[in-house]
Amino acid sequence: MVRDVVTEALPLGTRIWFAIACFFKVLFDGAFAARAFAVRRALPAPAAPEAEVGAPARHEPSEPPGERASRPAATPSRSEVAPGAALDAKPLQLLSLLQREGRFVDFLQQDVAGFDDADLGAAARVVHEGCRRALRGHADIEPLRSEAEDSTVEVPRGYDPSECKLTGRVSGSPPYRGTLRHRGWRVSRLALPETLPGHNATVLAPAEIEL
């Protein structure tokens, strides 16, 4: 019987470094980009939330049009006024380092549709060099698997689903044998500089104004 592989939502910090790793992998590895594109196209559309069976329909109480027009607008909540206040500072600090050393955010925010391949490749090389320097200066990242990609590997019983993502037709129970498409990455050290009191971590790069 074929079962679906269910994965939990990843935390913000993991999503940031994984997005960075995938970005450069897709940019410089055509075979990986083709596989990622095929997986993305094969993903089903998210199911619409279903109403609870047997639950009565909820109806908001109606009010006269005059009262609705005269009622003052609701004051925005604190989260609506300052959405960045609740964000985790550590991933934002790492993203700020990538911006400072490699102009990472500038590169991703730039519309590159009109760039030719030569200009885009030259820009990517500069961004790659700076981001690589920032990442290696503050983090140790090592592969999860030691085998070469595209080699046959075994997934043992009791494997950690957070370290091994199974794709394709998954049936039965482990151990499994399959082809290693990506070795994965693990952060073994992360040393970010201390922030000053009152530092606004949501500002990844200040505006530069020449006088």
Question: Within a domain: residue 34?
Answer: yes
Nearest to 104 by CA among 33, 20, 28, 27: 20
pLDDT exceeds 90 at position 195: no
**Residue 208 corresponds to which tokens in the numbers above?**
């530069």
Lowest-pLDDT range of 76-85, 154-163, 181-190 = 76-85
Q: What is the pLDDT of residue 14?
A: 63
pLDDT exceeds 80 at position 162: yes
**What distance, in Å, lies between the first and last C-alpha atoms of the chain?**
69
- pTM of this prediction? 0.53
Q: Which has the higher per-residue pLDDT, 21 or 3?
A: 21
Which residue type occupies 203? Answer: V
Question: Within a domain: residue 32?
Answer: yes
Around Cβ 131, how many Cβ atoms within 10 Å? 21
pLDDT exceeds 50 at position 53: no
Q: Which has the higher per-residue pLDDT, 34 or 59?
A: 34
Which residue type occupies 65? Answer: P
Selection from 57-71, 102-116, 144-158 with the highest mean pLDDT:
144-158
Cα–Cα distance, 165 to 184 (Å, whole number): 9
Question: Within a domain: residue 98?
Answer: yes
Q: What is the pLDDT of residue 46?
A: 56
The answer to whether the CB of 202 falls within 8 A of the CB of 92 is yes
Question: Within a domain: residue 68?
Answer: no
- Where would I find the beta strands (DSSP E) of 1-151? 139-143
Q: What is the pLDDT of residue 131?
A: 94
Cα–Cα distance, 185 to 204 (Å, whole number): 25
pLDDT exceeds 60 at position 85: no
Mean per-residue pLDDT for 114-136? 92
Question: Within a domain: residue 138?
Answer: yes
pLDDT, mean over the chain: 77
Question: Within a domain: residue 131?
Answer: yes
- Where would I find the beta strands (DSSP E) of the chain? 139-143, 152-155, 176-179, 185-190
**Residue 51 corresponds to which tokens in the numbers above?**
């109403």
Q: Count of domains in the chain?
A: 1
pLDDT exceeds 50 at position 173: yes
Question: Within a domain: residue 159?
Answer: yes
Mean per-residue pLDDT for 18-47? 69
pLDDT exceeds 70 at position 45: no
- Residue ranges making up the domain that contains 129: 12-41+87-190
Question: Within a domain: residue 176?
Answer: yes
